[in-house]
């Protein structure tokens, strides 16, 4: 089960900053599930993951409008 980071209600740059801190705490190969409400979180986290060498496995909008972004730590 992936670790869950809830950054709902927080706005740029906090979702990316908190994602960076949280992914550093999980083992390489594990997943971090980010829950966000800031629409900019999706492109921002995707760009950050690519730049840092991680992989966005899934990005979806839940029925309540929450963004769920799953990031795999690769290094």
Annotated catalytic residue within 4, 12, 47, 74: 12
| Nearest residue to 5 (alpha-carbon basis) of 74, 70, 75 | 70
Distance from C-alpha of 35 to C-alpha of 61, rounded to nearest angstrom = 10
- CA contacts within 13 A on the Cβ side of 59: 15
12 belongs to the catalytic site: yes
Q: Which residues are known catalytic residues?
A: 12
């Amino acid at each position: 089960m992936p670790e869950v980071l809830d950054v709902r209600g927080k706005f740029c740059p906090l979702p990316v900053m908190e994602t960076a801190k949280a992914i550093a705490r999980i083992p390489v190969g594990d997943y971090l599930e980010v829950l966000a409400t800031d629409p900019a979180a999706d492109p921002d986290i995707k760009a950050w993951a690519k730049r840092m060498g991680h992989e966005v496995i899934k990005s979806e909008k839940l029925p309540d409008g929450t963004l769920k972004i799953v990031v795999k730590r690769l290094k």
